[in-house]
Amino acid sequence: MSKLNALIGTVAAAALVISGWSFVSGGKLNTSLADLKGTVTSLEDTVTPPTTFDAAKTAAIDIRKSPLDLPAAIKRTEPQKVVLNLETVEVDGKLADGTTYTYWTFNKTVPGPMLRVREGDTVELHLKNDPKSVSIHSIDLHAVNGPGGGAASTQVNPGQEKVFTFKALNPGVYVYHCASPHIPTHIAQGMYGMIVVEPKEGLAPVDREFYVMQGEIYAAGLPADKGHQPFNGDLMFDEQPNYVVFNGAFQALTGDKAMTAKAGERIRLFVGNGGPNLISSFHVIGEIFDKVHEEGATEATSNIQTTLIPAGGATWVEFTVDVPGRYMLVDHSISRAINKGAVAYLDVTGNPNEEIYHDPMGHPSPGTGGH
């Protein structure tokens, strides 16, 4: 429809140019203008109705990963063997209100579970593929030093299981994703997650930690179109997703899955970008990151407003919420937040601190501002 509108606009613009030339030159171009008008009318007559989809799946599940669902910080001081279990499952899930989509997942959520180990740990990873899957699946963990990040060892058919081990040599935050062909399709269907490798000395204590991952969904329709929307490979090839989301679905981390905190608390966000294609301009409206571990680096940078997270990359940021209100997490390529779903809420309660923020009209209520 947009291409058709563009074509109609081009024809109309041409008509204006010809009309102007006719006025200046005194030429007689009524026939040409009539032809152009007829072309526009013909194009309007051939407009097809908006695409309609099958009804939304009534049995679709909630695939949104809770930002609270992450392992606790590691307290031990010695490395050990850690056994991790993941299962690849293909499910119909809720993409938006009245809209469903067929996701490919790790453990039935998008993103998959956040894995957490310590530098020096030996990790034994078990990957099962649900017997009802239609596709082969695998896992590539960016924290692995070895062929394919584990993908070479874990190409697993439906109903089977593969196992491999690796040593966690490098501390940081890393993405994992499916690496079975066609890799971009597997990732775009929801097959990504994060693994945190804590340094030997551990991480500094904070009051709250949250787990957030951005991803693109190349569904054929828009949120307002509703129904069960199929995957559109042309949109993915053109890198033009109709949805850009946090934790699997349109505006997933608002409402019942909004994050909460109290004024004065120290917050750590583990933030990844599953991609498969776009770079995230990650920003929290109303906050400045005290520390940003850019691309998961050990060393932190201070006082950052917006940080870039590449596709297949991750970071962690820390800040203290000084005053109550609603803080919105967004991809500051801002139409992705406003139109495509990449927005999340952090609702902070507590007493106002007018020395830091004063509104003569009264303390702002959640959701009343931003940029």
Mean pLDDT by groups of 10 residues along the chain of 371 residues: 42 37 38 40 42 94 98 96 98 98 98 98 98 98 97 98 98 98 98 98 97 98 96 98 98 97 98 98 98 94 98 98 96 97 98 92 57 50
229: CB partners within 8 A, 6+ apart: 53, 95, 99, 100, 101, 219, 220, 221
Residue type, 289: F
* CATH node for 81-198: 2.60.40.420
Phi, psi of 33 (to 5 degrees): -65, -40
Instruction: Decide if 231 contacts 219 (C-beta within 8 A).
Output: yes
Query: What angle do helix axes 30-45 and 2-25 make, rounded to 10 degrees?
Result: 170
Structure tokens at 186: 């597997």
Candidates 2.40.128.30, 2.60.40.420, 3.60.21.10, 3.30.70.1880; CATH matching 208-349? 2.60.40.420
Determine contact, residues 322/357, Cβ cutoff 8 Å.
yes
Radius of gyration over alpha carbons of the chain, in Å? 25
Q: Helices in 204-318 by DSSP H: which ranges?
A: 233-237
* C-beta of residue 174 within 8 angstroms of C-beta of residue 214: no
Structural tokens at position 207: 């009051």
Whether omega before 182 lies within 30 degrees of 0, making that bond cis, reads yes
The DSSP bridge partners found for residue 115 are 195
This prediction's pTM: 0.85
